[in-house]
């Protein structure tokens, strides 16, 4: 695992679902509702978990590639409505993974610049971070509202530009191959986490320098490369 090259800004960009927060149940529930309203067969939960990390239109396309575009668009809109309704009625539960809050606060306190690159919407990401008390820790938030889906590197490139960080001093942290491939395309380092939706061997195969098994182990990896 290589170390950072000298520069002022150390930037750590996190994925959200599957990396910072556990939204698996909420995603599967909203996708079930969306497919039902769009007249599509219920998606298989294991397949839904595999597409977490993609932007919503790409996720729906991956699940039902042969469905008419009109039905897919209906499913996308219905998913957004179902997710928003769950947030408003208090039934949405997106807890942080164990140790993540302490990790984020420790990195922030020690001078790391932190960002998020996610397939969530702006509103959804801000709500998740605010609900878990971490919104103020992040200097740059990049979402599917303004960028193409990962593995396109646009979110990472925008995050680096916003905080004046170089690829040589930036690391992407995520739980899916999409995150690792986006890092490779953006020229940044990539670290995987083993508690999300893709297996460690998939992350390593997609370009991860290493895969952390816990938030504490991830912090040790970041310490090793960040000096």
pLDDT at 27: 84
Positions in the chain short of pLDDT 50: none
- Domains parsed from the chain with CATH numbers: 11-22+94-226 (3.40.50.1000), 24-89 (1.10.150)
pLDDT of residue 101: 97
- Rounded Cα gap, residues 17 and 6, in angstroms: 31
**Distance between CA 45 and CA 47 in Å, rounded?**
5
pLDDT at 49: 82
- % pLDDT > 90, the chain: 74
**C-alpha dist (Å) from residue 163 to 48, 114, 197:** 33, 9, 29
Q: Are 197 and 45 in contact (CB under 8 A)?
A: no
């Amino acid at each position: 695992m290589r170390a950072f090259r000298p520069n002022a800004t150390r930037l750590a960009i996190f994925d959200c679902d599957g990396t910072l927060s556990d939204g698996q149940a909420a995603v599967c529930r909203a996708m079930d509702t969306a497919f039902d309203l769009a007249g599509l067969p219920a998606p298989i939960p294991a397949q839904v978990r595999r597409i977490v990390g993609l932007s919503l239109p790409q996720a729906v396309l991956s699940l039902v590639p042969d469905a008419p575009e009109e039905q897919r668009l209906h499913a996308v809109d219905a998913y957004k409505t179902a997710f928003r309704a769950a947030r408003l009625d208090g039934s949405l539960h997106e807890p942080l993974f164990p140790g993540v809050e302490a990790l984020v606060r420790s990195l922030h306190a020690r001078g790391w610049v932190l960002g998020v690159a996610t397939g969530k919407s702006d509103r959804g990401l801000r709500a998740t971070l605010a609900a878990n008390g971490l919104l103020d820790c992040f200097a740059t938030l990049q979402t599917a509202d303004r960028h193409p889906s990962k593995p396109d590197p646009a979110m990472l490139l925008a995050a680096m530009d916003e905080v004046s960080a170089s690829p040589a001093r930036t690391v992407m942290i995520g739980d899916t191959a999409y995150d690792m491939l986006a890092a490779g395309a953006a020229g940044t380092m990539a670290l995987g986490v083993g508690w999300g939706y893709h297996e460690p061997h998939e992350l390593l195969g997609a370009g991860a320098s290493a895969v952390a098994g816990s938030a504490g182990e991830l912090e040790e990896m970041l310490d090793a490369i960040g000096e």
